[in-house]
């Protein structure tokens, strides 16, 4: 025991003195931070090496999440010896000279060109991930006067029915107010629904109910081909909102988290315009987390472009591009970044319109390195590989009698959730929701890995589950639907 109770303590501190205990346990196999010697340790590499072995083990069956593990960043190791901080506006830099703003602007320029907005007409930054980009997009929409869902102002906020957790996060942070809307003249709520609906629900959605304060319009919004998507306007209805002069904020999903459905952006805009909204009265934020990088390289895929009436786009840098640090990119129109959002921060010698302030300076360099080394041809090749292998998995599952669905332009294969087998789910890192699970076929996923997965799935499968409510009857293999016979 090393007792430091005799150190100089002020009056009244004697009873609160600190004792440092030396443990006799084998600390080489523990990650707990309990021992303090004040000296540098040279045996920590053993713990790191064991952890690397663990990562390699799990990576052999890493199927359920959109994280590209085919990484080649050995040449950037020297950067880990520096703290790099991109606080402030990337276009203005800061007085903290250890920043990578120059790399960041190059990355932003690349995405601006991809999404067709000229330099000098856009603003953006490298975020901590797609969620921050979504929050920033919503923040801009609210700042410009688009109301959140509220019984007081009757504004409209739209979101995909199968949207991920970002909307809940926005509500938790107070950027949007969650309000249940009923057909009672309350606030309007626009919903983009994707997936299979019961036949009676389709008929209900198509009805125009005269004498009531609800107008529902059936539109083809999703690329989830199992059923038409619907846009609902509840409460006071679009026509009444138009007369009241309210505005609409819409989040467009270029790829839903669980099913990989892609909204038709053109039809979303067309629907808003047909309902009386001019482009100056709605704001569309495009959540392109995974597919925002993939879609531009797919023939006939929905096009993300600022040539359309959109306000902002975000993607996740750690998904398709494979940045080892969670990060993202958000691009918006420069005219939306006003004095209310952007403030001078004297202490860093810059302006700041970001959410987080201090930002990882390593992430832009990793993104730059990936885009520079891959090039457009390399990225296109990666996209085609993922789409081809997703189709392969879909075919293997269907051929084995397992209910499965693969949306167009998607690398996300949805299928029956493995029953009573959490060990299998964790072994393959599957993402599950209700009765369904999915595999996200990324660059590191091989056909050999997929064959092994299907084989093991069949060995542990009891019977076919009915997943028609999630993927449509034609994609279900239960005894009631048996979609493979049709």
Kindly write down the DSSP assignment for every residue of 16-48, as one continuous string.
Answer: G--EEPPP-S-GGG--------SS--S-THHHH
* Displacement of CA 264 from its chain's centroid (Å): 18
- At 341, the pLDDT band (50, 70, 90 cuts) reads confident
Average pLDDT over the chain reads: 76
Residue 82, pLDDT above cutoff 70: yes
- At 163, the pLDDT band (50, 70, 90 cuts) reads low
CA atoms within 13 A on the CB side of 103: 20
Q: Which two tokens stand for residue 96?
A: 């903290």
- At 468, the pLDDT band (50, 70, 90 cuts) reads confident
Work out the percent of the chain whose per-residue pLDDT is above 90: 44
> How many whole angstroms separate alpha carbon 62 and alpha carbon 459?
19
> Mean pLDDT throughout 218-243?
31
Residue 128, pLDDT above cutoff 70: yes
Query: What is the tens place of the pLDDT at every residue in 265-324?
Result: 888 888 888 888 888 888 888 889 999 999 999 999 988 999 999 999 999 999 999 999
Residue 91, pLDDT above cutoff 70: yes
- At 170, the pLDDT band (50, 70, 90 cuts) reads low
> Mean pLDDT throughout 153-166?
48
Alpha helices in 94-165 (DSSP H): 101-114, 130-143
Residue 169, pLDDT above cutoff 70: no
Work out the percent of the chain whose per-residue pLDDT is above 70: 68
What is residue 96's DSSP assignment?
-
The confidence score (pLDDT) of residue 8 equals 45
The confidence score (pLDDT) of residue 280 equals 82
CB atoms within 10 A of CB 349: 14
Residue 218, pLDDT above cutoff 90: no
The confidence score (pLDDT) of residue 233 equals 31
Least confident of 42-51, 151-160, 331-340, 402-411: 151-160
The confidence score (pLDDT) of residue 158 equals 55
Q: Are 53 and 35 in contact (CB under 8 A)?
A: no
Query: What is the tens place of the pLDDT at every residue in 348-398?
Result: 878 888 888 899 999 999 999 999 999 999 999 999 999 999 999 999 999
pTM: 0.77
Matching residue, tokens 């994609």? 475
Residue 17, pLDDT above cutoff 70: no
């Amino acid at each position: 025991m090393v007792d430091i109770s005799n150190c100089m303590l002020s009056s009244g501190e004697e009873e609160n003195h600190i004792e440092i205990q030396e443990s006799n346990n084998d600390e080489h196999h523990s990650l707990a931070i309990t021992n303090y010697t004040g000296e540098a340790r040279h045996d920590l590499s053993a713990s790191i090496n064991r952890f690397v072995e663990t990562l390699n083990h799990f990576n052999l069956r890493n199927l359920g999440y959109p994280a590209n593990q085919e990484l080649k960043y050995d040449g950037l190791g020297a950067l880990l010896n520096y703290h790099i901080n991109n606080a402030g506006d990337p276009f203005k830099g800061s007085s903290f000279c250890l920043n990578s703003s120059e790399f960041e602007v190059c990355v932003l320029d690349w995405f601006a060109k991809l999404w067709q907005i000229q330099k000098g007409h856009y603003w953006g930054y490298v975020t901590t991930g797609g969620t921050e980009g979504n929050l920033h997009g919503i923040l801009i929409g609210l700042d410009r006067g688009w109301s959140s869902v509220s019984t007081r102002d009757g504004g409209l906020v739209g979101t995909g029915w199968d949207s991920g957790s970002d909307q809940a996060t926005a509500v938790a942070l107070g950027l949007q107010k969650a309000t249940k809307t009923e057909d009672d003249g309350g606030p309007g709520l626009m919903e983009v629904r994707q997936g299979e609906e019961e036949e009676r629900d389709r008929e209900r959605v198509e009805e125009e109910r005269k004498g009531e304060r609800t107008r529902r319009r059936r539109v083809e919004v999703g690329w989830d081909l199992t059923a038409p998507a619907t846009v609902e306007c509840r409460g006071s209805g679009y026509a009444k909102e138009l007369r009241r002069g309210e505005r609409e904020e819409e989040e467009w999903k270029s790829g839903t988290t669980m099913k990989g459905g892609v909204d038709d952006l053109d039809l979303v805009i067309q629907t808003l315009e047909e309902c009386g909204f001019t482009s100056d009265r709605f704001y569309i934020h495009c959540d392109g987390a995974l597919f925002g990088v993939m879609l531009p390289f797919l023939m006939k895929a929905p096009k993300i472009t600022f040539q359309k009436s959109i306000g902002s786009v975000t993607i996740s840098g750690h998904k398709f591009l494979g940045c080892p640090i969670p990060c993202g990119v958000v691009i918006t129109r420069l005219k939306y970044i006003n004095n209310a959002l952007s403030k001078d921060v004297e202490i860093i010698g810059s302006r700041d319109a970001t959410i987080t302030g201090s930002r990882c300076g390593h992430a832009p360099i990793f993104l730059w390195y990936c885009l520079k080394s891959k090039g457009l041809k390399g990225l296109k090749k990666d996209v085609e590989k993922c789409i081809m292998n997703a189709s392969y998995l879909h075919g293997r599952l269907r051929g084995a009698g397992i209910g499965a669905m693969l949306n167009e332009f998607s690398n996300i294969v949805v299928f029956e959730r493995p029953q009573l087998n959490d060990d299998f789910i964790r072994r393959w890192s599957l993402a599950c929701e209700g009765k369904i699970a999915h595999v996200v076929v990324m660059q590191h996923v091989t056909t050999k890995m997929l064959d092994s997965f299907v084989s093991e799935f069949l060995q542990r499968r009891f019977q076919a589950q009915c997943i028609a409510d999630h993927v449509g009857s034609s994609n279900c293999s239960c005894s009631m639907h048996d979609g493979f016979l049709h």
